[in-house]
Amino acid sequence: MKIDRVRALHVSGMWDYHEPLGEASMTRPVHIYPELLSRERRWPIADTSAGPPYPVDGYFLIVDTDDGASGMYGPIGGEEVYLVKQYFAELLIGENPHAVERIWDKMYRHAIHGRKGTPMMALSKVDLALWDLKGRLLDAPVYILLGGPSRSKIRAYASMLGYSVEPDLVAERARQVVAEGYTAIKWFLPCDPKDGEEGLRKNLAVIRAAREAVGPDVDLMFDAWNSWDVPYTLRMAELAAPYRPYWFEEPVMADLIPQYRELRRSVRGVSIAGGEHEYTRWGIKALLDAEAVHILQPDVTWAGGLTEMTKICALASAASIPVIPHHGEWAATHLIASQTLTTCPMQEWLFQAGRRSNVFRKHKLEPVGGYIELPTAPGLCMELAETGLEVLEEQVLAS
């Protein structure tokens, strides 16, 4: 059996979502330039002018074999489709679809200028489509092929990207989330050093409101999205200490590994999390060698796919650093389910972005009672929804 074609299917659907959408955006490093604030996108991206329901679209990458079997991954963006065509698709033709390590290495060596960033994200999607194909060929969920299951369900934390950070609404939504069974919640803080003392107070108001709403037994995490610096993070940790935050996420720019190391050594009462914007085992190893973080957060769909994330988890396990992947949807579920509880203790669930992706899929990812049940479908649960989708275009990327 050989791979004989790589395709991209552009599909659209309607997102029947009636909850608040895109109420707030998080602070970003680029916000030091005031003129760029007005261009800020609010997540998840959707045309909200006439909805709900909202029109949404995305691409599914499909890898076909000469015996009729196919694997897929999506939704992905058009830029990634372009990069798969430019960098990787031809490399797959004629390959044994089971040989994921060989194919990954071919792609990595070919994309010497794409070891990080969007090209590596595109490589990751190819890898995931191959694992979906492998699971379908062997009639097993991918986590079983990777050594799982390590548990019957995965603890999920509620990630509140897009929700208001007004303290009253933070408290209201936090109570709602806990009532649904979640035992951990993450908020995206609105201010950074350019906002001065007033910004510190606004961030602290979010932290205080969340803690007072949920009580002492819920884990609370806060994302700075690369936008703080070392003094600001230390000051926030000092002010937030009475409210016991679990972690501050990406407090400084991703490349500032010495600053991460300084924070990990200096901060008290809160863990430093990072690695979302790092790629491959080599990027993660640099963080581990520097003892830069308490918690690693690489994204399965960005950092190299499942082939690479299993290596990342092995490195992290040897260093006794937990891996709590950024987003990743079903791909993250399969990774976590194949790892021990100490290596991958829980999964991020983005309330809005995750539900948007469910529009396209037959197998919906939706935590119940704060936990994600392990799927039983073969592959990565990538079958397209049976109704409600329109195929806009099919591209053959290589054959």
* Shared-domain flag, residues 236 and 304: yes
- Residue 36 covered by a domain: no
* Shared-domain flag, residues 222 and 110: no
Residue 23: strand, helix, or coil:
coil
Q: What pLDDT is attached to residue 45?
A: 73
- Residue 35 covered by a domain: no
Q: What angle do CA 175, 178, 180 make, to 5 degrees?
A: 115
Does residue 326 carry a catalytic annotation?
yes
pLDDT by residue, tens only, the chain of 399 residues: 999 999 999 999 999 999 888 788 788 999 999 888 877 766 767 777 788 999 999 999 999 999 999 999 999 999 999 999 999 999 999 999 999 999 999 999 999 999 999 999 999 999 999 999 999 999 999 999 999 999 999 999 999 999 999 999 999 999 999 999 999 999 999 999 999 999 999 999 999 999 999 999 999 999 999 999 999 999 999 999 999 999 999 999 999 999 999 999 999 999 999 999 999 999 999 999 999 999 999 999 999 999 999 999 999 999 999 999 999 999 999 999 999 999 999 999 999 999 999 999 999 999 999 999 999 999 999 999 999 999 999 999 999
* Shared-domain flag, residues 260 and 276: yes
Q: What pLDDT is attached to residue 49?
A: 77
* Shared-domain flag, residues 115 and 255: no
For the residues of 291-322, what is the DSSP string, one character each? T--SEE---TTTTTHHHHHHHHHHHHHHHT--
* Shared-domain flag, residues 218 and 182: yes
- Residue 46 covered by a domain: no
* Shared-domain flag, residues 88 and 150: no
- Residue 38 covered by a domain: no
Q: What pLDDT is attached to residue 24?
A: 81
Q: What pLDDT is attached to residue 307?
A: 98
* Shared-domain flag, residues 270 and 355: yes
* Shared-domain flag, residues 206 and 125: no
* CATH number of the domain where residue 175 is located: 3.20.20.120
Candidate list 294, 326, 327, 334, residue with the active-site label: 326
* Shared-domain flag, residues 179 and 134: no
* Shared-domain flag, residues 219 and 291: yes
CA–CA gap between residue 303 and residue 287 (Å, rounded): 14
- Residue 42 covered by a domain: no
0.85 exceeded by the pTM? Answer: yes
Instruction: Give the C-alpha distances (Å, rounded to integers) separating 108 from 103, 305, 330, 348.
Output: 9, 12, 23, 27
* Shared-domain flag, residues 284 and 392: no
Q: In total, how many domains does the chain have? A: 2
Q: Which domain holds residue 80?
A: 3-17+53-139+387-398
CA–CA gap between residue 293 and residue 247 (Å, rounded): 10
* Shared-domain flag, residues 223 and 350: yes
CA–CA gap between residue 211 and residue 379 (Å, rounded): 39
* CATH number of the domain where residue 76 is located: 3.30.390.10
